[in-house]
Amino acid sequence: MTPNPAATATLAARATAFADLHTPASPLALANAWDVASARLVEAAGAAAVATTSAGVAWSLGSPDGDALARDRALDLIARVAAAVSVPVTADIEGGFGADAAAVGETVRGVLAAGAVGINIEDGTRSPAEHAERLAAARAAADAAGVPLYVNARVDTFLLGLGDPATRLDETLARAAAYLRAGASGVFVPGVTDPATVAELAEGIDAPLNVLVGPGAPSVAALGGLGVSRVSLGSWVAGAAYAVVRRATEELLADGTYGSLAQSVPYGELNALLKG
């Protein structure tokens, strides 16, 4: 299929604008969405960009998180979200939805066709060398398409407790450097919000740093002061939404009351949001 020059130029401009949002002076704050309605709500609240959560997307499609969701189903969801909002969209593509680097490149071509201008791709338990190859393939696919895709390389050393705790910071910095050499635009280190460690990460990584936040984490402004350029709520928002389902059901069945629903988005407001 021959690329549409105008569409490519628009996507490239949006990708550049998205990259420019990453700054410690005013960190990019992402409340991750998992469907069109949640994406529209995020945009309507004033967010500068919409990020998907791989866990929330997988759960909403009846799949567990962790490279279990089929690529075509993920890409379809990304396309729906990108078409529904006017702000840049970055997609969490788990480990790349592919068994090897070539497959990751194919996934990235699909992400761009879907209209997203960023990806989040995790190393998990893969070797750093293998993940670097996957990142290089992602960058090559984006470059071939003429779009400066924002490639956020997730380092899971802290999240998964990999390696020796005494050398975990050094291992994280080494992985980050390797991933940046492979073509990553920024580095995502979930699983750590300790100010001292975050500051060391920001100092040691020569690219925008993204951290995962939730209850108990420092504020966005405080993290920006430590050098963080991007904060993400990840699966927390989807998890909170599903918690309402559980609480409302338990209350209904146990007490026959409905207080758990007191703060729901009004029907008319949500319906109107989806008419545009």
Question: What are the pLDDT digits (tens) for 190-206?
Answer: 999 999 999 999 999 99
- In this prediction, residues 168-183 reach a mean pLDDT of 98
> Which long-range contacts does 99-102 make (Cβ < 8 Å, 24+ apart)?
100/134, 101/133, 101/134, 101/136, 101/137, 102/137
Determine the average pLDDT of the residues in 32-49: 97
User: Nearest Cα to 57, choosing from 45, 69, 47?
Assistant: 69
Cα distance between residue 195 and residue 136, in whole Å: 31
Cα 265 vs. chain centroid, distance in angstroms? Answer: 24
Neighbours of 63 (CB within 10 A): 16
Given a contact cutoff of 8 angstroms between Cβ atoms, the answer to whether 89 and 83 are in contact is no
pTM: 0.94
Cα(60)–Cα(238) distance, rounded to whole angstroms? 9
pLDDT for the residue numbered 231: 98
Tokens 């390797």 sit at which residue?
178
Residue 21 has pLDDT above 90, yes or no: yes
Find the helix or strand (DSSP H, E) in which 51 lies: strand 50-51
pLDDT band at 276 (very low <50, low <70, confident <90, very high): low
Q: What distance in Å separates the CA atoms of residue 85 and residue 91, rounded to the nearest whole number?
A: 13
Tokens of 152: 């956020």
- State residue 2's pLDDT score: 43
The pLDDT tens digits for 70-81 are 999 999 999 999
How far the first Cα of the chain sits from its last, in Å, is 30
Q: How many CB atoms lie within 10 A of CB 239?
A: 15
Region 5-235: CATH code: 3.20.20.60
Q: Across residues 238-264, what is the average pLDDT?
A: 97
- Phi and psi dihedrals of 74, rounded to 5? -65, -45
142 burial (CB, 10 Å; 0-12 / 13-18 / 19+) is buried
- Is 60 exceeded by the pLDDT of residue 3? no
